[in-house]
Amino acid sequence: MNLKRGLDSMFKQIPGASFSVQYWDGETIAYGEEKPEFLLRLRDPSSVRRLLRDPFMRLPDAYVSGQVVVEGNLQRLLRLGYALDPRLLRVNPLRKALLYFATLARRNSLRGARDNVSHHYDRGNEFYELWLDREMNYSCAYFEDAADDLDRAQCQKLHHICKKLRLKPGQRLLDIGCGWGALAAHAVREFDVSVLGITPSKEQVARCQSKLRHSGLDGRVEVRLQDYRELETEPFDAVASVGMIEHVGKSYLPAYMAAVARSLRPGGTGVFQLISQTHEKAVAPWISKYIFPGMYLPPLGELATEMARAGLRIIDVENLRPHYALTLDAWIERFENKREAIRVMFDDRFVRMWRMYLNAACAAFKYGELNLWQVTFTHGFSDRMPLTRRYLYDEPARQAPSTRRVA
Amino acid sequence: MNLKRGLDSMFKQIPGASFSVQYWDGETIAYGEEKPEFLLRLRDPSSVRRLLRDPFMRLPDAYVSGQVVVEGNLQRLLRLGYALDPRLLRVNPLRKALLYFATLARRNSLRGARDNVSHHYDRGNEFYELWLDREMNYSCAYFEDAADDLDRAQCQKLHHICKKLRLKPGQRLLDIGCGWGALAAHAVREFDVSVLGITPSKEQVARCQSKLRHSGLDGRVEVRLQDYRELETEPFDAVASVGMIEHVGKSYLPAYMAAVARSLRPGGTGVFQLISQTHEKAVAPWISKYIFPGMYLPPLGELATEMARAGLRIIDVENLRPHYALTLDAWIERFENKREAIRVMFDDRFVRMWRMYLNAACAAFKYGELNLWQVTFTHGFSDRMPLTRRYLYDEPARQAPSTRRVA
């Protein structure tokens, strides 16, 4: 009864939120002034008591196990984590510090990185095919307009990056963390370059290679099962790395930047796209444990310092933060449309776990402090960059290139 | 004779430079393969010997005193400082470290900052009128085209900043370090806002106030003799600070960012424009001693970290480095055209000192590691920013607003 009264008092202190809570005794109480955005069902007091001692870990856990049920808008529930006074959540600062060091300790050594990547990306290509866009971009899209569909927005992202790279026919592009090859295929088809893509994911290499063969691009794109530390010194004209720095880890950032500098000819252009915390801190513990082991999201200050040390000179930084919220909402919609197929492929628990992950990431971009940077740089200063960024916007907004389907 | 042989051997090791040296014994030797870019006259061996022990301080000193004469392209001489192997220059690392701490120690306290600013900016408005553009912008211009004249490029800079600020009619803009009021006047005339400008320079305040009265803008712009630390908490819609952070100093960056955050309403937009070192280091000692006491040029990593701490959320960073080389070359041309008038106003020594300063700054942008950042940010994250930066480029390149002359 004390616990219920404590929760009731905590919920009443949350500003600007409207929701209902069904307590274990059957009573449902509505909080806030508006129509409830979600209903939170709490099944038993002892699991709630445990949850309150470590909410950022145990709320998602309880959701996945079914001890806590959420009906309605899950992101609005997760928003409460940002809106609540941290003192109400009783998060132990010692535990927070330990978590931070635990994240640093999950080292992305050559072997560790391969395991960490495999944990997420080798779930099976069929799974990702169900809900990603048709070119299988697993990173933030670029919405010229919030109403753009996902296929168009992902194609616009690839085009935006290629334009930032100022690719010229015949040039060689290195794509570090090439995923399922969407950027490589776009760069070859639209900018007439050749590409080396590397990834430590076996499933991605297999899918890339068959896709490239089918589309006749295999003479222009090579995909290797390789870590960035295994790159030989080759003078590429351009380097792209999209959604990859997140997997490098704090202690390996200098090695990563050095590998990029070694692989990019002096004066050559590069683009990084990455998720980045506003302040230096560990990734949310539940995400780090279940979804992305080894993930670290360097703040811009740290990234800029490491790039400067490696001789990578920043010329342009764009924060696409709202674009990742739009991308994740599109993924969530597609994921939910295919949830029966995903349930058959895995199980109920898996569906809830991924629903939690996608919604938590989306909430962090909408209500939290995540950024999505596109950083353009040259290896050493270059005199050959255009004076202004107008060249990125010289095509009308609605004339992104057609999203042609690769067979 | 040994000294001459040593210099001769050093000059022969410089890659890609063509120049002549006239030694104290009358002999002139040409170095490099091409037509000489400058002639360096060395008048006596003892001053050269002293110079070599601390070249970054004593070469400019010797130039100003006339012990060293340069005919031809001064910037190509200064480039040698970047091209030479540092070991050849025998710079004592201890002295370098001491210089760094000396810069940090020249503190920009409330009193110190006023003296430091006055040292440079209170030289007399008539002096700056001789060679700045007609609106008296003393900061980097924005060249849509390298052939733009300075008046146009400065006006384009003001417009670019105002567009980044997304100023709407009726809004209130705070301009921290308002100089001679060019940005304030542009914002009022072209974007229909009202402006508070602050500067610790008495000469600037006097000139601003008379200029604004003459142009009838004095009802819309207020200019105060004030330090950023003396700002009251007022909810401005937008904040600009152009060529100002350079004068804040390393130890006062947190106080500066806090003042900006206090003065900008949540969700409001700001733009910083500043010169920035690529790596953390002291300003060139001669510049720090004679030209800009108290100057510190924070690298992007440091700037981003301090902004994050103050709640200023970066959304866009543009490196306009080549624009400052163009701006300085334009200033140098105008300065040289007026050098007789400036000689009368001051003396020969002053002309040589300012020629050295302007050319050294230009060489640092062309051959060294200086950046010119425009950083757009919001106070806390804002959902009201446009999805893309296309709005900055929606006017055709050559249709910058007319540069109307203020009476």
Question: Which residues does chain B have within 8 Å of residue A381's beta carbon, measured at their own beta carbons?
Answer: 321, 369
Task: Find tokens 């542009």 and name the residue.
Answer: B186
Q: Residue B79: name the closest of B369, B371, B274, B351 by CA.
A: B369
What is the three-class DSSP state of A172? strand
Residue B82, CA distances (Å) to A381, B7, B17, B56 in order: 13, 17, 12, 11
Task: Show me where the domains of chain A are located.
Answer: 2-91, 110-393
Q: Which residue of B has its CA nearest to A384?
A: B322
User: Measured between alpha carbons, how far is residue B69 from residues B60, B74, B76 in Å?
Assistant: 10, 10, 14
Q: Do A389 and B393 touch (CB under 8 A)?
A: yes
Sorted by sequence, the CB contacts under 8 Å of residue A397 that are 6+ apart come out as A144, A145, B388, B390
Q: How far apart are CA B2 and CA B9, in angstroms?
A: 11
Mean pLDDT in residue range B386-399:
83
- Choose between B107 and B81: higher pLDDT: B81
For B99-110, what is the HEC assignment? Answer: HHHHHHHCCCCH
Which residue, among B140, B257, B278, would best test binding to A if mutated, counting the most A CBs under 10 Å from its CB?
Answer: B278
pLDDT in tens, A29-43: 999 999 999 999 999
- Burial string for A26-36 (b: 16+ CB within 10 Å, else e) reads eeeeebbeeeb
CA atoms within 13 A on the CB side of B11: 22
Closest residue to B146, CB basis, from A308, A315, A387: A387
Task: State how far the Cα of A112 lies from the Cα of B365, in Å rounded to an integer.
Answer: 42
Query: In angstroms, rounded to a whole number, what is the distance separating the alpha carbons of residues A306 and A375?
Result: 13
List the single residue in B318, B383, B393 with the smallest CB-CB distance to A316.
Answer: B318
pLDDT tens-place string over residues B104-115: 556 788 888 888
Q: Would you say residue A406 has pLDDT above 50?
A: no
- Mean pLDDT, all residues of chain A: 91
The predicted pLDDT at position B90 comes to: 57
Chain A residues lying within 8 Å of B321, measured CB to CB: 315, 381
Interface contact flag, A304 B299, Cβ < 8 Å? yes
Region of poorest pLDDT, from A312-326, B64-78, B116-130: B116-130
The answer to whether the Cβ–Cβ distance between B144 and A300 falls below 8 Å is: no
Q: Which residues of B touch A314 (CB under 8 A)?
A: 300, 317, 319, 371
> For B343-347, what is the mean pLDDT?
95
Contact (CB<8Å) B389/A389: yes
Mutate to test the interface with A, among B79, B309, B314, B365 (most CBs of A within 10 A): B314
| Cα dihedral A348/A350/A352/A354 (nearest 10) | -150
CB contacts of A309 in chain B (<8 Å) are 279
Model ipTM value = 0.93
Tell me which chain A residues have a C-beta less than 8 angstroms from the C-beta of B309.
279
Q: Measure in Å the smallest separation between the Cα of A306 and chain B Cα atoms.
A: 9
DSSP B171-233: -EEEEES-TTSHHHHHHHHHH--EEEEEES-HHHHHHHHHHHHHHT-TTTEEEEE--GGG---
Query: A387 vs B145: CB contact, 8 Å cut-off?
Result: yes
Using an 8 Å CB-CB cutoff, list chain A residues near B388. Answer: 142-144, 393, 397
A2-91 maps to which CATH number? 3.30.1050.10
**Is residue B144 very low, low, confident or very high in pLDDT (cuts 50, 70, 90)?**
very high
Condensed to tens digits (0 to 9), the pLDDT of residues B82-106 reads: 877 665 555 566 666 666 666 555 6
pLDDT at B100: 61
d(CA A215, CA B184): 57
Collect all residues of chain B within an 8 Å Cβ-Cβ radius of residue A371.
Answer: 313-314
The tens digit of pLDDT for each residue in B270-284 reads 999 999 999 998 888
Distance of CA B81 to the CA centre of its chain: 20
| A400 DSSP 8-state letter | P
Query: Scanning every residue of chain A, which has its alpha carbon at the shortest distance from the alpha carbon of B397?
Result: A390
Taking CA atoms, what residue in A is nearest to B156? A388
Six token digits for residue B11: 């000059």
pLDDT tens for A129-169 read 999 999 999 999 999 999 999 999 999 999 999 999 999 99
Query: What CATH architecture does domain B110-393 belong to?
Result: 3-Layer(aba) Sandwich (3.40)
In CATH terms, are B2-91 and B110-393 the same topology?
A: no
Residue A91: pLDDT over 60:
no
For the stretch A322-357, pLDDT in tens is 999 999 999 999 999 999 999 999 999 999 999 999
Residue to mutate among A317, A321, A382, A384, with most B CBs inside 10 A, is A317
Among A317, A322, A385, select the one facing B317 at the smallest CB separation.
A317
Contacts of A301 in chain B (CB under 8 A): 300-305, 308
CB contact under 8 A, A299 and B300: no
Alpha carbon of B361 to those of A316, B123, B141, B329, B369: distances in Å?
22, 19, 15, 10, 11
Asked whether residue A95 carries a pLDDT value surpassing 80, the answer given is no
**Residue B321: closest CA among chain A residues belongs to which residue?**
A315
CA torsion B85-B90-B94-B96 (nearest 10°) is: -60
Q: Determine the residue of chain A that is closest to B277 in CA distance.
A: A308
A-B CB pairs within 8 A amount to 105
Question: Nearest by CB to A304, which of B300, B313, B387?
Answer: B300
Nearest to A314 among B300, B313, B393 (CB): B300
Mean pLDDT calculated for residue range A267-275: 98
Determine, for residues A316 and B314 on separate chains, whether the beta-carbon distance falls below 8 Å. Answer: no
Q: What are the DSSP E strand ranges found in A120-249?
A: 172-176, 194-199, 221-225, 236-242
Measure CB to CB from residue B389 to each of A278, A301, A318 and give the nearest one.
A318
pLDDT in tens, A193-230: 999 999 999 999 999 999 999 999 989 999 999 999 99
Contact list, B369 vs chain A (CB under 8 Å) = 381
- Four-residue CA torsion sign, A179, A141, A299, A93: negative
Q: Which residues of A touch B16 (CB under 8 A)?
A: none
